[in-house]
Amino acid sequence: MLDAEELGVSSTTLDAALASGKPDVRRLLGIEGNYGEGIGLTKDWVARIVRKVGNYGEVFERNVGTKTPLGIPRGINQLWNAGGILYAPPIR
């Protein structure tokens, strides 16, 4: 979910991402390679998660973010490239 957010893949951009020519996006979504199959998952496991619940940012905002009763800002829960501490190695 972190990789999806970093690559700009969300529940609203998933269909466009599935047509992407970017190798990182294609690997993440299971279009190229078989990265989920080695651990008993389907190739499209990330695409199915993002379609159902979204990327990490979407889940955070929906459940505890600033527009919820908890009103928690992302703060250090941002991706590393946005000033936070969240980092996930790319799927390779």
Q: At 86, phi and psi to the nearest 5?
A: -85, 125
- Whether the per-residue pLDDT at 90 is higher than 90: the answer is no
Q: What pTM value is reported for the model?
A: 0.90
Q: Is 92 a member of any domain?
A: no
CA distance 75 to 54: 19
- More confident: 33 or 73: 73
Q: Is 31 a member of any domain?
A: yes
45: which 2 tokens?
Answer: 């496991």
Residue 74, Cα to own-chain centre: how many angstroms?
A: 16
Q: Is 58 a member of any domain?
A: yes
DSSP 37: G
At 1, the pLDDT band (50, 70, 90 cuts) reads very high
Return the biggest CA–CA distance within the chain: 41
Q: Is 89 a member of any domain?
A: no
**Structural domain that includes position 72:** 2-82
Look at the chain and report how many structural domains it folds into.
1
CA distance 69 to 85: 24
Q: Is 62 a member of any domain?
A: yes
